Amino acid sequence: MNIIYFLIGCSILMAAAFLGAFFWAQRTGQNDDLYTPSMRMLIDDEEEETPEK
Amino acid sequence: MTGSHTIEKEACFHCGDDCLTNAHIIEDKHFCCQGCKSVYQVLSAGNLCNYYVFNDHPGATRARSDKRFDYLSDPTIIADLIDFTDKEITIVTFYIPHIHCSSCLWLLEKLNNINSAIHYCRVDFLKKQLNIRFDNQQLSLQQLVELLYDIGYEPLISLQDVIKKQNEAGKDNLVQKIAVAGFCFGNVMLISFPEYFGLSIYEQTFKHFFGWINLLFALPVIFYSGSSYFVSAWQNLRNKVLNIDFPLALGIAVLFGRTLFEVITNSGAGFTDTLCGLVFFLLVGKFVQKKTYHHISFERDYRSFFPVAVHVVENEVEKPVPLSQLHTGNRMVIRHSEIIPADAILLKGEALIDFSFVTGEAVPVNKTLGEIVYAGGRQTGEAIELEVIKPVSQSYLTQLWNNEAFTRKQDNRMQTFNERVSKYFTIVLLLIAFASLFFWMSTDLRRGFAAFTAVLIVACPCALALSTPFTMSAALSIFDRNLFYLKNTKVVEQMAAIDTIVLDKTGTITSSEGKSVHLEAALTAGQEQLIYSACISSMHPLSRMICQYLGNIQRLPVAEYRETAGKGITATIDRHHLRIGNAQFVLGHQNETIHFTRVHLMIDDVFLGYFAFEHHYRDGMEKIAALETDYPLLLLSGDQNHEQHELIRFFKSPENMRFDQSPQHKLDFIQSLQNDGKKVMMIGDGLNDSGALKQSDLGIAVTDNVNNFSPGSDAILDGASFHKLPSFLRFSKDTVTIIHLSFLISLTYNLIGLSYAVTGNLSPLTAAILMPVSTVTIISFTSIATHFMAKRRNLL
């Protein structure tokens, strides 16, 4: 059953990595504006180099 | 089907207004004005016509087309506005009120197509902000703002920068703290499960290991996430206040201490699960309570109403000067629709100044040369020149902000239920804890300490601390849905305590349309001309409205003219004798039982009829008048008492209406009501109400467009929801009842927990179950009850 020590260590490390990822996202402002991207993605891309004037 | 004379009104391709002329057409697209047309030209030149594809008529009307951005060349102003600059690039954030649809988003993020010096633009849609990074060698800030103006997105630039303040406000790391607490809570729960289910004798080594790991997880929860509770409790103790943070901090500390003791002595599993859960839920409660409205500012004062800079003439040269550098003796130039920023003497030009925002008086005022013009008025008509006699901060209007009402800390106006209760709660809690300690101490010291700590743990007022934030945030979102924006959750409780309502008149209970005139007489063109000529000489608001109604008529010379204040005009024009005025004056008898103002007309002793004036009061004014039984209604108006007899149906008696009130009078009046022990709600809209709004126990600013200027207040009410005010008041009382009920529920849980705790036999499992169960009960009860009440009040 000593494997439990190792498994718990792994699970905590993984969880800590996710926590770290969240901190990074928060610090770099990725969660500052949660609304505008939802509108931005609905705008169609323009066709490159349209011939009409 | 159409005759040759029928012109179908085309909607402007840019802004959607009706096109009144056919003068502005490009290809087959109609525009209402030159401004809209030029925006289209700019966009089509930049190949940005997709702007019009995503939404119909996305633009703002551009009927006004004068640029006034040269003050943006002043280095001190620039330094205030920009976020960052170096030799090459500048980063700036603008607040652009017009951002409203996906076209706006698309266009503003494509500014690079119009000017290649703009490297990067990002829109924050909810905050209505645009973040721009541009090459400052090729493009100046002024050019950038002019470009934005050209495409119809004029940034709102004011002295009191809303953007920077808001960005500073949000940095207290609450989200990170919740993340850490949640992370530890989850892991601790996982590791605590074996303990809940029981470990066999062979697995006892794990028990020790789990205990230490849990303790490790508790450290960041205590020292990072929960630290604010200790700080707050300590500060409050030093100020000799017992607020809810004290028992919370005590509970957290005791939980940690006992866990530490149990783990080190290997005598038990400790209470880390309860500890982490407690801190996590408390922080979530804090988060929920914090609702921010990005596009609304509750802290505005005259600085956001006044312009950033004003034009000053020096040595025959006009140059922009920031308001802070405006000195006595400066000669400033004010153009049409500009605001006069400081008390000044009129030197040149015809001043017709609209003081509606300052005094509440709806009609523009004529000023003669040499007269003092007070700050805050808006010039209508030609450009005028004035000499400044007082600096901006000391003028008649802005002096109001030196009053103590503005320096006082706003938050301590009224104790919330939570604050009142937690004082007694803490005392009782400590009494019980020490009683159980002394009770057991004589027989069993260990058990005494167990009971002492258990009482503090179990009675930790988690549910109590959560009941207010969850109820209030639910209430806030319901108000929000009804276009009533509260500054913070405390305002709901303040609203429930109100017992007197004071209303401003202009702009608050009268809607922006003002009043309508209709003529109850058949007049010939000649008679109209006579009446027009008589009325044009009068400055009385009703005369002006009559002139407006009659339109532009040739003015006849007036031979004899006499105006009796408050009664009417007698005039002799073109050998006709005119009497224009109220019934007493014209007809010689009083029949004013009617609600509406009438101006009777008599020419050559023949009664012709009358003009009837009907004021437009906001919808639902009757409903608010019906509140009178519960809340005394008072009126405070900066206006003259022309409308007194019309308003009497709302306010019952003339004593309830005060006219001709200066901003300072208003503030003083509210204060005198408060000295009589009244809890006053002030509803106003303009700068002239600022003092009263601030002084009152609850200040509500009414506005027809929440993005527009509204004075600093506790709450902002959209004019469209004005009629819901009675429901809002009742609903605020309901939410307070809900808080009381949830307090009872949490008290019940505490009593159950205490019955275990005083015996000293509190198992970690009981604590771990009791805490989340009580929390979940409170959260669900408050949100369900709040929604139920909102339905009952027709707010949902």
pLDDT tens digits for B430-442? 898 899 888 888 8
Quote the CA–CA distance of B476 and B464 in Å, as a whole number: 19
B317 and B370 in a single domain? The answer is: yes
Nearest to B179 among A19, A39, A42 (CB): A19
Q: Is the pLDDT confidence value at B406 over 80?
A: no
Taking residues B151-164, what's their average pLDDT? Answer: 69
Nearest to A35 among B109, B126, B179 (CB): B126
Q: Is the pLDDT confidence value at B285 over 70?
A: yes
In terms of DSSP bridges, do strands B715-718 and B698-703 run parallel, antiparallel, or are they unpaired?
parallel
Q: Is the pLDDT confidence value at B183 over 90?
A: yes
DSSP code per residue over B218-284: HHHIIIIISHHHHHHHHHHHHTT---THHHHHHHHHHHHHHHHHHHHTTS---SHHHHHHHHHHHHH
Q: Under 8 Å CB-to-CB from B239, ≥6 apart: which residues?
A: none
pLDDT value of residue B583: 77
**Of B423, B83, B293, B113, nearest to B716 (Cα)?**
B293
Give the percent of chain B with pLDDT over 90.
12
Domain of B700, CATH number, reads 3.40.50.1000
Q: Would you place residue B349 in the very low, low, confident or very high pLDDT band (cuts 50, 70, 90)?
A: confident
What amino acid occupies position B393?
S
Q: Would you place residue B788 in the very low, low, confident or very high pLDDT band (cuts 50, 70, 90)?
A: very high
Q: Is residue B210 part of a domain?
A: yes
Contact B700, B681 (CB under 8 A): yes
Quote the CA–CA distance of B515 and B377 in Å, as a whole number: 22
Q: Would you place residue B178 in the very low, low, confident or very high pLDDT band (cuts 50, 70, 90)?
A: very high
B677 and B786 in a single domain? The answer is: no
Say if residue B606 is exposed, middle or buried (CB neighbours under 10 Å; 0-12, 13-18, 19+). exposed
Give the percent of chain B with pLDDT over 70.
89
Using the Cβ of A23 and the Cβ atoms of chain B, whether some distance falls under 8 Å is answered with yes
Nearest-Cα distance to chain A for B169, in Å, is 13
pLDDT value of residue B405: 66
B705 dihedral zone (left: phi>0; alpha: psi -120 to 50; beta): beta
B178 and B267 in a single domain? The answer is: yes
Residues from chain A that touch B188, judged by Cβ atoms under 8 A, are: none
B182 and B268 in a single domain? The answer is: yes
B578 and B541 in a single domain? The answer is: yes
B516 and B608 in a single domain? The answer is: yes
Torsion, Cα B194 B195 B200 B202, to 10 degrees, reads 80
Q: Is the pLDDT confidence value at B413 over 70?
A: no
Q: Is the pLDDT confidence value at B164 over 60?
A: no
Residues from chain B that touch A23, judged by Cβ atoms under 8 A, are: 176, 179
B191 and B275 in a single domain? The answer is: yes
Q: Would you place residue B781 in the very low, low, confident or very high pLDDT band (cuts 50, 70, 90)?
A: very high
Higher pLDDT, B293 or B280: B280
Instruction: Choose one of B592, B615, B638: the last residue of a domain.
Output: B615
B61 and B95 in a single domain? The answer is: no
Distance of CA B726 to the CA centre of its chain: 19
Taking residues B510-530, what's their average pLDDT? Answer: 75
Q: Is the pLDDT confidence value at B66 over 50?
A: yes
Quote the CA–CA distance of B546 and B539 in Å, as a whole number: 11
Domain of B352, CATH number, reads 2.70.150.10
Tokens 């209508």 belong to residue: B380
pLDDT value of residue B2: 40
pLDDT value of residue B686: 74
Q: Is residue B583 part of a domain?
A: yes
B662 dihedral zone (left: phi>0; alpha: psi -120 to 50; beta): beta
Nearest to B183 among A19, A42, A53 (CB): A19
What are B569-590's pLDDT values in tens digits?
Answer: 888 888 888 888 877 777 777 6
| Test mutation, B83, B183, B185, chain A, max A CBs within 10 A | B183
Higher pLDDT, B514 or B510: B510
Identify the closest residue of chain A to B177 by CA–CA distance. A23
pLDDT value of residue B7: 47
What amino acid occupies position B766?
T
Q: Is residue B478 part of a domain?
A: no
B234 and B127 in a single domain? The answer is: no
Q: Is the pLDDT confidence value at B65 over 60?
A: no
Domain of B538, CATH number, reads 3.40.1110.10
pLDDT value of residue B168: 54
Using the Cβ of A52 and the Cβ atoms of chain B, whether some distance falls under 8 Å is answered with no
Distance of CA B287 to the CA centre of its chain: 21
At residue B107's C-alpha, the angle toward residues B102 and B108, to 5°, is 100
Identify the closest residue of chain B to A17 by CA–CA distance. B183
Using the Cβ of A7 and the Cβ atoms of chain B, whether some distance falls under 8 Å is answered with no
What amino acid occupies position B576?
H
Residues from chain B that touch A53, judged by Cβ atoms under 8 A, are: 47
Using the Cβ of A22 and the Cβ atoms of chain B, whether some distance falls under 8 Å is answered with yes
Quote the CA–CA distance of B315 and B199 in Å, as a whole number: 93
Q: Is residue B219 part of a domain?
A: yes
Instruction: Choose one of B673, B695, B725: the last residue of a domain.
Output: B725
DSSP code per residue over B329-346: T-EEEE-TTPBP-S-EEE
Q: Is residue B787 part of a domain?
A: yes
Q: Would you place residue B502 in the very low, low, confident or very high pLDDT band (cuts 50, 70, 90)?
A: very high
Using the Cβ of B191 and the Cβ atoms of chain A, whether some distance falls under 8 Å is answered with yes
Contact B655, B679 (CB under 8 A): no
Contact A5, B209 (CB under 8 A): yes
Q: Would you place residue A47 in the very low, low, confident or very high pLDDT band (cuts 50, 70, 90)?
A: low
Q: Is residue B600 part of a domain?
A: yes
Q: Nearest 5°: phi and psi at B494?
A: -60, -40
At residue B707's C-alpha, the angle toward residues B703 and B712, to 5°, is 65
User: What is the DSSP-derived secondary structure letter of residue B676?
Assistant: T
pLDDT value of residue B629: 82
Q: Is residue B501 part of a domain?
A: yes
Mark yes or no for CB contact B105/A26 under 8 Å.
Answer: no
With b for 16 or more beta-carbon neighbours within 10 A and e for fewer, the B607-646 pattern comes to: ebebbebebebbebbeebbeeeeebbbbbbbbbbebbeeb
C-alpha distance from residue B467 to each of B252, B729, B738, B740, B774 (Å): 19, 20, 9, 9, 11
| Test mutation, B27, B43, B91, B206, chain A, max A CBs within 10 A | B206
Residues from chain A that touch B175, judged by Cβ atoms under 8 A, are: 26, 31
Q: Would you place residue B462 in the very low, low, confident or very high pLDDT band (cuts 50, 70, 90)?
A: confident
What are A8-30's pLDDT values in tens digits?
Answer: 999 999 999 999 999 999 888 88
Please provide the average confidence, as pLDDT, over all residues in chain B: 81
B353 and B457 in a single domain? The answer is: no
Instruction: Choose one of B595, B615, B635: the last residue of a domain.
Output: B615
Nearest to A43 among B106, B206, B209 (CB): B106
B233 and B311 in a single domain? The answer is: no
Nearest to B124 among A12, A33, A43 (CB): A33
| Test mutation, B48, B106, B178, chain A, max A CBs within 10 A | B106
SS3 string of B587-643?
Answer: CCCCCCCCCCEEEEEEECCEEEEEEEEEEEECCCHHHHHHHHHCCCEEEECCCCHHH
Q: Which helix (H) or strand (E) holds B353?
A: strand B351-354
Quote the CA–CA distance of B392 and B401 in Å, as a whole number: 12
Tokens 């179950």 belong to residue: B769
* pTM as predicted: 0.80
Q: Is the pLDDT confidence value at A52 over 70?
A: no
User: What is the DSSP-derived secondary structure letter of residue B10?
Assistant: P
Q: Is residue B369 part of a domain?
A: yes
Give the lowest-confidence range in B515-524, B584-593, B720-729. Answer: B584-593
What are B184-209's pLDDT values in tens digits?
Answer: 999 999 888 888 887 777 777 888 88
Taking residues B359-365, what's their average pLDDT? Answer: 67
Taking residues B546-560, what's their average pLDDT? Answer: 78
B494 and B528 in a single domain? The answer is: no
pLDDT value of residue B105: 86
Nearest to B50 among A15, A39, A46 (CB): A46
Task: List the 210-249 stretch of B: residues with Cβ below 8 A of A.
Answer: 213
How many domains, in total, are found in chain B?
A: 6
| Test mutation, B52, B83, B105, chain A, max A CBs within 10 A | B105
Maximum Cα–Cα distance for chain B, whole Å?
Answer: 121
Helix or strand or coil: residue B123? strand
What are B614-659's pLDDT values in tens digits?
Answer: 777 887 888 888 888 888 888 888 777 777 777 888 888 888 888 8
Structural domain of residue B604, as residue ranges? 512-615
